[in-house]
Structure 1
Amino acid sequence: MGLIVCAAIALMSAAANACTRLIYETGNKTFLVARSMDWMEDPKTDLWAFPKGMKRDGGLGTGSITWTAKYGSVVASFYGVATVDGMNDAGLVANTLYLGESDYGDAKASGKPLISVGAWTQYALDNFATVDQAVDALSKEPFAIVAPALPDGNAAGGHLSLADATGDSAIFEYLNGKLMIHHSPKYTVMTNSPTFDEQLAISAYWKNIDGLSFLPGTINSPDRFVRISWSLNAAPKEKDERLAVATTFSLIRSISVPLGLSEAGKPNIAGTIWRSVSDISAKRYYFESAYSPSIFWVDIYKLKLAAGDKPSHLDLNGHPIYSGDVSGKFLPAEPFKFLSN
């Protein structure tokens, strides 16, 4: 057995993580971004509408970075302390997935303004319209990330993916205290461990295998990366908007994990709690809870996202059954506070 094959198998057996993100291109050369949120318990996700003009900070008190939101956004929260998913009114989509290898370095020793890992995704949505803009600005490392433990006691480590209306894509990972950026429209799939460069190496090996005859089948992260990459390339590029959304949902469902599945001692391998699809062209954010039998969506154009508007939120506590357009159901609310010590 060759060295590459051995390495691929070793990585697949060693990695056990959750969540998947993909970018689907339609026949009209527009793009939809889907992600699954896999976790060992319900992370109490709500949807929020944050207007442009909001005064923000990194959530860590004195020394935190501050900014004013240039763009409005609809986002999904995580335990009420982090933004982990969403799209802004310029069409930038952000998805943060768990990454056990994350190491943000010694933030206090950096001498830079601080930002909670819970605010990282929101910072991108508030400040950038395109992936190029984000890569240019974030590569200068304007802040140092602090990652306190999550409310459930688990480590808060993740990598951030961005996509825009052109299909451009970038993935940001902090490894051994250093920022790694993978920037290319070719990067249409992201899962979790191992790190993205190693995922690409595994995927390159599997490109030589006939996917109609055999694909790796476990719920481990590298296997999911390979399977969804093959499915994404095989899926037809639909021109009809409804079919395009349906195809994107079918892809992310196909790689999801059964609800309730968990493994003792591995909090990051678990069932799919919810899925989202961001239709960048239509500026529509779709959401599907594994606890509910239907899909609902938010039209960004219908939200109050102008400067001076108040933040609002859609309470998903208790898993209410929503269907169709819920843009009018958002109610004014004080924004959640980002994860802190």
Structure 2
Amino acid sequence: MFKSKNIAFALVASLSIGLLNNQAIACSRVLFNSTGNVVVGRTMDLYMPDHAKLMIYPRGVARNGGVPNSAKWNAKYGSVAVNSLDVGSSDGINEKGLVANLLYLHESQYEKRDTRPGVSNAVIVQYLLDNAATVNEALAEIKKIQIVSIKASGREWPLHVSLSDEVGDSAVIEFIDGKMVIHHGPETAVMTNEPPLDWQLNNLKNYKYFGGKESLPGDIDPASRFVRASAFLKTSPVPKSTQEALAQVFSITKTVSVPLGAHNTSTAIESEDTWPTLWTTLADSKNRIYYFNASDSPNMVWVDLKKVDFSKGASIKSLSGEDSTISGDVTSKFQTLKK
């Protein structure tokens, strides 16, 4: 079911989010770039339902950044995205194959507000999908605006962003000590949560396959998930097809998932609560297919961007990610969003 017609499987993988009011939440993102296949696997773990909705946005949609002195723009590219908490896109792919993922980073400290046009951190994924075709273009776009933290569901969300494109270029954008930090290159293929990426990459050197002697850790701590995903990504065989590439990404992300009802075994997090994986996505940048699986459903669904009408003036459409009756290619099942 990775591709389209007749292979069925269920994707479950984990996106984890750090420490939240002494509560552990989790996010993981893995970019697989091999033999002409570029696939991003991403999962969402959260302590409450995010009421995910799959969205189709055409070109020309007028938007603003949702903060005072807001940036304003019209979408240059159409996209398919997941809307979370009814505040913005947490994940998505555009018609040029650019993929953006929004994950939690507890240490995030945003820049002091200045006179630049602002875009809220809840809207930044959509801003990039609307305006950029490649990672290089996205990094240029993000320097034109200022990302501003806002409240959603009663609290602020410190976040970081990962990007990839059709050719497998990759970047991670973080805000550390009040400054924007951009990592750009193959070392950004894996992203989890705290600590920031520099720490994660340095910690990786302690483990087998990366120069160290430590065995792979098995808990759900963000650093442990980063090590596992990195090790399996490095040792995966070269795929013979897109289907195999998708299967490998699924297998890797599954190793960092949090099953429904599982207990937290991490010694680094003092919490009796465990936040389950809510949903998983796979983005096939080469073939422009976007997969979605809700963890409480056995069904995989996907959107074929090549079949979507992204023309200016086309309708914004949505499809509930909580509908367990849907399966397979749902490109034609989206409903026009009521104004």
TM-score (norm 1): 0.86
* Cα distance in 1 for residues equivalent to 2:88 and 2:270: 24
Report sequence identity in percent: 37
1:54: which partner in 2? 61
1:312: which partner in 2? 317
Supply the AA of the counterpart residue of 1:77. N
1:338: which partner in 2? none
1:10: which partner in 2? none
Q: Could you tell me whether the CA contact under 8 Å between 1:15 and 1:194 is conserved in 2?
A: no
1:333: which partner in 2? 337
* Structure 2 residue ranges without an equivalent (≥5): 1-21
Q: Which is further off, 184-193 or 122-131?
A: 184-193
* Cα distance in 2 for residues equivalent to 1:118 and 1:86: 13
* Cα distance in 2 for residues equivalent to 1:278 and 1:267: 33
2:112: which partner in 1? 106
* Cα distance in 1 for residues equivalent to 2:311 and 2:131: 15
Query: How much is the aligned-residue C-alpha RMSD, in angstroms?
Result: 2.4
SS of equivalent to 2:251: helix
Distance 1:56 1:262, change over 3 A: farther
Q: Could you tell me whether the CA contact under 8 Å between 1:104 and 1:144 is conserved in 2?
A: no
* Cα distance in 1 for residues equivalent to 2:174 and 2:273: 17
SS of equivalent to 2:187: coil
* Structure 1 residue ranges without an equivalent (≥5): 1-13, 336-341
2:145: which partner in 1? 143
Q: Could you tell me whether the CA contact under 8 Å between 2:27 and 2:193 is conserved in 1?
A: yes
Alignment length (residue pairs): 313
2:285: which partner in 1? 280
Q: Does 1:97 align with 2:99?
A: no
Which is helix-richer, 1 or 2? 1
Task: Write the mapping of 1:9-24 to structure 2, written as runs, cut at 5 A.
Answer: 17-24=25-32
Give CA deviations for 1:62-97 in whole Å, capped at 9, x if unaligned: 521101111100000111112110000000000010
SS of equivalent to 2:186: coil
Q: Which is further off, 241-250 or 29-38?
A: 241-250
Give CA deviations for 1:109-140 in whole Å, capped at 9, x if unaligned: x11222111110000100100111112332x3
Distance 1:94 1:269, change over 3 A: farther
How far 1:265 sits from its partner (Å)?
8.0
Q: Does 1:44 align with 2:58?
A: no
Q: Could you tell me whether the CA contact under 8 Å between 2:297 and 2:324 is conserved in 1?
A: yes
Distance 1:265 1:72, change over 3 A: farther
SS of equivalent to 1:22: strand
Supply the AA of the counterpart residue of 1:50. Y
Task: Write the mapping of 1:141-290 to structure 2, written as runs, cut at 5 A.
Answer: 142-151=144-153, 153-206=154-207, 207-209=210-212, 214-261=215-262, 270-290=275-295
1:68 alignment partner, one of 70, 74, 80: 74
Supply the AA of the counterpart residue of 1:244. A
